[in-house]
Amino acid sequence: MLKDLKFLSKMYEIPSIDIILMDLNISGVSSDIDADRVRFNLRLLNGELLLCSAIKKRF
Amino acid sequence: MENYYCALQLRRDSDYRISEDKLYFKNEHIGWVNNFEIDFCDSYYMRRNNTVLNINPKTRLNCEGCKFCYTSHQKSRSIIDLTIPKNLDNFFYDWMNLYGKNDLSGLYQIAVVSGCFPNENSLVKFLLDLNDKVEKMNFHGEIFYLGSQIQTEESLKKLSEIPYFAYSLSIECFENRDKLLRKSKSGFTLEQIKRIMQLSILYGHRTNFTYIVGLDGIKALEEGLKNFEKYINSFPIFNILQEHEYQKGLRNYTANNIQYYLQARKTIEKIFAHSSLKPTMWEVCRTLWYTSYNGEKL
Ligand code: SF4
């Protein structure tokens, strides 16, 4: 749960936001659009805690 | 909170999903999305608040051979051969019109990102012609070339005519170069690249290289970077490998988890800890660094 992202963030001393953005680049994204690639501007939810609790069981 | 520019591969199996203006992780809403569009490979695009102009003078849509490359799969809205002088003139006039500018004095950099010139001479000629043209349009910034087609001292010398020239060598990986890169790129060996980078610095050019994180094992990454860090005068461009649907299995077998990338980031920070070089945020959208570098805020 929450602790996985927090744990990695602590262990590697890398902010959770950076970890999520890296993971997004590794995983890519799904969408209904018919293409191989998409681009966009992203504003992540405000607050590390909120993000950590949303990204459960990821790593 | 900051806005991050993302250019991503579409993967049906991803845990991240975009629906309307929201980004979800599984079913959890984690962010807001705007300016969502297909990632076209056009003849130009802007960066750094419209002060950096990236041009694709020779369309890369027909370039193939590097296993990690996706440009030949991309769609384009505009294919213009900018190596034809008249097209290049028209391109700049159209650009100034579109952006409401009288000249190019507001541009910080013009970036030429292409490995698709027929040969080294035609590339050098294009860069020199480009410089002549934009100087007359009041451009005082840097001309940046990303690729690996400048391979001789003679070319580097000729390019010294450009007041501010930068060369980013597309090294991309240290292992399995024969398998992963197109022939014209892998034929330019790491030892030859080193020599050219050394000379590039001697001729006064800003010099670095591009590297794709996810192709090599961590040990090869570490050894390769230690070997090359003496031959640069600006921070390398590190891109995370984006594996598209049609490229499944391309990643190094050790790079299929987030820990590999976290480890890569720490390793790189350690190698460059003694230097003042740092990543430039606007230059790379699939970077390893977003809010901090080596414990310092970016
Ligand atoms: S040289 Fe390689 S990376 Fe560059 S456009 Fe061609 S295939 Fe893609």
Name all residues whose Cβ lies below 6 A of ligand 1. Answer: B 60, 63-66, 69, 71, 115, 182, 185
The answer to whether the Cβ–Cβ distance between A41 and B261 falls below 8 Å is no
Determine the Cα–Cα distance for residues B13 and B30; give it in Å rounded to an integer: 18
Query: Can you tell me the mean pLDDT for B21-36?
Result: 92
Ligand 1, atom 7, residue with closest C-alpha: B64
Query: Can you tell me the mean pLDDT for B75-81?
Result: 76
The structure's pTM equals: 0.94
State the pLDDT at residue B74: 78
Q: What domains are defined for chain B?
A: 1-37 (no CATH), 39-297 (3.20.20.70)
Among B73-77, B148-152, B240-244, B259-263, the range scoring the smallest mean pLDDT is B73-77
State the pLDDT at residue B1: 64
Strands B109-113 and B296-297: unpaired
pLDDT confidence band for A53 (50 / 70 / 90): low
Residue in B105, B66, B110 with CA at minimum distance from that of residue B88: B110
Average per-residue pLDDT in chain B?
94
State the pLDDT at residue B86: 93
Q: What percent of chain B has pLDDT over 70?
A: 98
Distances (CA, A) of B93 to B99, B101, B102, B104, B228: 10, 9, 9, 10, 40
Please identify among residues 4-33 of chain A the ones whose CB lies closer than 8 Å to any CB of chain B.
8, 12-15, 17-33
ipTM of the complex: 0.93
State the pLDDT at residue A2: 38
State the pLDDT at residue B53: 96
Are residues B39 and B75 in contact, defined by beta-carbon separation less than 8 angstroms? Answer: no
- Single-letter residue type at B152: T
How far away, in angstroms, is A58 Cα from ligand 1 center? Answer: 33
B127 has a pLDDT exceeding 80: yes
Query: Can you tell me the mean pLDDT for B24-28?
Result: 88
pLDDT tens-digit profile of B36-58?
Answer: 999 987 788 899 989 999 998 87
| Contact residues on chain B for A36, CB-CB shorter than 8 A | 9-10, 39, 70, 73-74, 244-246
pLDDT tens-digit profile of B134-174?
Answer: 999 999 999 999 999 999 999 999 999 999 999 999 999 99
How far away, in angstroms, is B184 Cα from ligand 1 center? Answer: 10
How far away, in angstroms, is B66 Cα from ligand 1 center? Answer: 6
Determine the Cα–Cα distance for residues A17 and B37; give it in Å rounded to an integer: 23
Residue in A11, A52, A55, A51 with CA at minimum distance from that of residue B262: A11
How far away, in angstroms, is B180 Cα from ligand 1 center? Answer: 11
Query: Can you tell me the mean pLDDT for B204-215?
Result: 98
Are residues A51 and A20 in contact, defined by beta-carbon separation less than 8 angstroms? Answer: yes
State the pLDDT at residue B229: 96
The distance of B226 to chain A (nearest Cα, Å) reads 21
Query: Can you tell me the mean pLDDT for B95-104?
Result: 97
Ligand 1, atom 6, residue with closest C-alpha: B63
Q: How many other β-carbons are positioned within 10 Å of the β-carbon of residue B133?
A: 16
Residue B19's DSSP bridge partners are B22
The answer to whether the Cβ–Cβ distance between B31 and A45 falls below 8 Å is yes
Smallest Cβ–Cβ distance between A19 and the set B1, B15, B258 belongs to B258
State the pLDDT at residue B114: 79
**Kind and range of the H or E run holding B16:** strand B16-19
pLDDT tens-digit profile of A4-52?
Answer: 788 899 999 999 999 999 999 999 999 999 999 999 999 998 666 556 6
B67 has a pLDDT exceeding 90: yes
State the pLDDT at residue B80: 84
Query: Can you tell me the mean pLDDT for B263-275?
Result: 97
Determine the Cα–Cα distance for residues B210 and B201; give it in Å rounded to an integer: 16
Look up residue A44 and give its two tokens: 């992540």
Distances (CA, A) of B126 to A45, B158, B231: 45, 12, 26
- Out of B58, B59, B60, mutate this one to test ligand 1's pocket (max ligand atoms within 8 Å of CB): namely B60
The distance of A52 to chain B (nearest Cα, Å) reads 10
pLDDT confidence band for A1 (50 / 70 / 90): very low
Among A2-16, B29-43, B267-281, the range scoring the smallest mean pLDDT is A2-16
State the pLDDT at residue B267: 98
**Kind and range of the H or E run holding A38:** strand A37-44
Helix axes B120-136, B85-98, angle to 10 degrees: 40
Nearest chain B residue (CA) to A41: B5
Determine the Cα–Cα distance for residues B251 and B112; give it in Å rounded to an integer: 27
A50 burial (CB, 10 Å; 0-12 / 13-18 / 19+) is middle
